[in-house]
Amino acid sequence: MRIIPAIDIIGGRCVRLSKGDYSTETVYNEHPLEVAKAFEDAGLHYLHLVDLDGAQSSRIVNHKVLYQIASQTSLHIDFGGGLKSDDDLRIAFENGARQVTAGSIAVQQPDLFLRWLKTHGAEKIILGADCRNRKIAAQGWLEQSEWDVLDFIKKYETEGVQSVICTDIALDGMLQGPSLDLYKEIMEHSKVQLIASGGVASVQDLEALREAGCEGAIVGKAIYEERISLRELAALC
């Protein structure tokens, strides 16, 4: 299972939220590049980079942060937040993203999402399937759709999606453990490569996700709150 540390960006700074609520913002580092270099120095290879300003603004905002990290580390970056147009996608790839995570666009503009999938290939486009009470959320998690998370994933699996990042929003940033039952249900009914996100608080949580069959696991607040050390994460890679 791939271990994928996360950096969320607001105003160019490394922050974390609880349950996607922007009013709960906690700043952990003024310089995201320093954080990314620490991940790399510890022996980690991947990074989930989220432009939270972009998610609210419906356009990429923090592309300079993406460029700094991509140009000064060798981390494999998947980038999300604010991808709403062909121009946004171009900016993300030109500034060093290896992959992009697209969630809101798959809800609001499915034809555009499918064109990206066809043009760039399933290895470049990750489906973001973030849900609250099983309903897919969009627009920086500020809007809730009528899509059930499993139906949403299965629909796009038939269209060629191979990788999915799924976050149970109610657990995100809460350090209460991941949504194991939900992930097991998804993997029981789908063959996508599932990347779990939200709630990871311990090495034991990561081991449980691995045993459940997740292809990857994203770790955020547990790192910043020193619940899991970078050395422990690297040992799991």
Please give the positions annotated as active site: 8, 130
Residue 74 CA to residue 90 CA, distance in Å, equals: 20
Q: Which residue in 226, 227, 188, 189 sits closest to 205, CA to CA?
A: 227
H/E stretch holding 150 reads helix 149-158
φ, ψ at 89 (rounded to 5°):
-65, -45
Q: Token pair for residue 143? A: 């809007």
Helix then strand count (H, E) for the chain reads 11, 12
Q: Token pair for residue 179? A: 């949504």
H/E stretch holding 100 reads strand 99-102
Residue 176 CA to residue 178 CA, distance in Å, equals: 7
- Whether residue 98 contacts residue 121, with contact meaning beta carbons closer than 8 Å, is answered with no
